[in-house]
Structure 1
Amino acid sequence: MFDRSRPGLQTHPLSHGYSAAEHFLAGGAVNLRPMTAFDAEKLRTFLNELTDKSRRERFLRPVSEMPDYLLRSLTRLNGRRHVAFMAEATEEGSKRMVGEARYAVDPEHPGEAEFAIAVDDRWQGRGIAVRLLDALENRARTGGLRRLFADTLDDNHAMLSLARRCGYTVAANRREVGVKRLVKDLAASSALH
C-alpha cells in the first residue's frame, strides 16, 4: 500500500500511524519500517548473526545467542511506550533485516525513554544507523517525549561518534565503570527539524 501524497514512502499495515520509507543507500535499497511482534524470528536471526563484538556493544555484555525470554521482551511493542524500527535490505530476492532501533519509556520518568540501536556488521557505515535514530527521535517527539538516553561501552567508538554527530551529549555513567551515557533533549533539538 503506497501513500500517494509522499512519493517514495510506503505505509506498512501495522505501523501504528507512522510510515515506512524506502531509502537508497550505497549497496542497495534499504526499507525502514516499524517492527511488529510478527518480526520476532527476523529479529532473532538478525541478532544471532551479529558478530560477538556487535552483540556485546548492543547489550553491554557478551550474549552468545538470543534467549526466548529476551526475544519476547524485545517484541512486546505497543507503538507508544515501546517502539522499534527495523531496516530491511533485499538480498538475493528475499528481505533481510540489517538494522534495528528501539526505545522504551522509562516508567519512573514518563517523558524520557532509553534507546538502543544495532546494524549488521556488513551494512555498517552506509547511513542506516543515522536513519534509524532519526526515525526514533521523530516518533519520540510526536509521542510527547522530552528526552532520549542510552548507555554504551567506552570502546564502542562507532556509537560514540554517531551520538556526537546526532547532537547527543556524552558523559561517564555514574553507576557503571566503562560505560558512557548518551543524552539528547528532544525539545531543544526540535527547533532544528
Structure 2
Amino acid sequence: MKHIDLHDLERYSDVLLSRSGEVVALRFAEVADAGALQCYFRGLSPGSRYNRLMGAASELPESQLDRFTHIGEDNGFSLVATTKRNGAEVIIGEARYAIDDETNSLEIGLSVDDKMQGQGIGAALLGNLACLATALGAGRLFGDTLRSNDAMLALARKAGFALSPTPDDWKQIRFEKRVAFAPVDIPCASWRLAAIAANVHAA
C-alpha cells in the first residue's frame, strides 16, 4: 500500500459547503493545531467526548494530542474540518486514521462539534477518508464505536458501511466498508473546489 507524501499534503485537502451554506475546509492536522484541537475536544459535550475517546475525559490526553498533530508517526494521520468564525479558523470536526499494511486497510475514527452535527461534516470526513483509501491503494475502511453511539452508527449506515460486533469487545460495534473504486483525481473533491470557486467569483 502506498503512503502519503508528507511534502504534498495539500493535494488531499478538500473544501465543501455545509448544509447551512458555511464553507468548510478539510485538511491534515499540523503541530500548530495542537491548541485549537484541544480546545475543540474540550468544547465537545461530555457524551460526544465519551463516544469519541471511549471513556470519560475532560480533554484529549496529552499523549494522544501529540499523536494527533504529528503526521505519519506509527502510520497515523489526522484530519481537521475547519471554518472561519469572526475571521479566525475554528476546528469543527476531526478524523483520525491509521494505515494497516498487513490487512490493506485504514482504521478510522471521527467526531463533529455538537452544534455542527447534521450539517454533512461527518459524511464529508468519511468521504475524504474513502478517497484517501483509494489513493493509497487500501481495499477496506473500518472503525469501532460504542454500541451507544447512535449518531456514529447512523452515519456509518448511511455511508454504506456494514455493521457487526467488534471482535473480543461486546461494548463496541465495528463498521466496515470495502473500497472497490479507483480515484479519478486528487484532490478528493476537485469538483467541489471548482464549484465553490465559481460561486465565489460570481459573487
Bin for the TM-score computed over the shorter chain? 0.7 to 0.9
Deviation at 1:30, TM superposition (A): 1.3
In structure 2, C-alpha distance between the alignment counterparts of 1:93 and 1:84, rounded to whole Å? 24
In structure 1, C-alpha distance between the alignment counterparts of 2:170 and 2:74, rounded to whole Å? 31
**Structure 2 unaligned spans of 5+:** 1-5, 185-203
Alpha-carbon RMSD? 2.3
Matched, 1:131 2:163: no
Equivalent residues of 2:135, 2:183 under 8 A apart: no
Show the counterpart of 1:99.
93
Matched, 1:168 2:125: no
Q: Helix, strand or coil for the counterpart of 1:18?
A: helix
**Structure 1 unaligned spans of 5+:** 1-12
Normalising by structure 1, report the TM-score. 0.83
Q: Between 80-89 and 97-106, report the one with greater CA deviation.
A: 80-89
In structure 1, C-alpha distance between the alignment counterparts of 2:176 and 2:103, rounded to whole Å? 15
In structure 1, C-alpha distance between the alignment counterparts of 2:73 and 2:126, rounded to whole Å? 16
Matched, 1:28 2:19: no
> How many residues are paired up?
178
In structure 2, C-alpha distance between the alignment counterparts of 1:14 and 1:131, rounded to whole Å? 24
Identity of aligned residues (%): 31
Show the counterpart of 1:66.
60
The AA in structure 2 aligned to 1:36 is E
In structure 1, C-alpha distance between the alignment counterparts of 2:183 and 2:87, rounded to whole Å? 38
Deviation at 1:105, TM superposition (A): 1.6
Equivalent residues of 2:163, 2:175 under 8 A apart: yes
Equivalent residues of 1:102, 1:136 under 8 A apart: no
The AA in structure 1 aligned to 2:118 is G
Higher helix share: 2
Q: Which has the bigger relative contact order, CA under 8 A and spacing at least 6?
A: 2
The AA in structure 1 aligned to 2:66 is R
In structure 1, C-alpha distance between the alignment counterparts of 2:54 and 2:47, rounded to whole Å? 10
Q: Helix, strand or coil for the counterpart of 1:99?
A: strand
Show the counterpart of 1:154.
147
Show the counterpart of 1:49.
43
Deviation at 1:95, TM superposition (A): 1.2
Q: Helix, strand or coil for the counterpart of 1:125?
A: coil
Q: Between 70-79 and 126-135, report the one with greater CA deviation.
A: 70-79
Q: Helix, strand or coil for the counterpart of 1:39?
A: helix
In structure 1, C-alpha distance between the alignment counterparts of 2:59 and 2:7, rounded to whole Å? 28
In structure 2, C-alpha distance between the alignment counterparts of 1:19 and 1:131, rounded to whole Å? 13
Deviation at 1:88, TM superposition (A): 0.7
In structure 2, C-alpha distance between the alignment counterparts of 1:31 and 1:79, rounded to whole Å? 23
Show the counterpart of 1:18.
11
Aligned CA distance change for structure 1 residues 159 and 15 (closer, same or farther; 3 Å): farther
The AA in structure 2 aligned to 1:88 is T
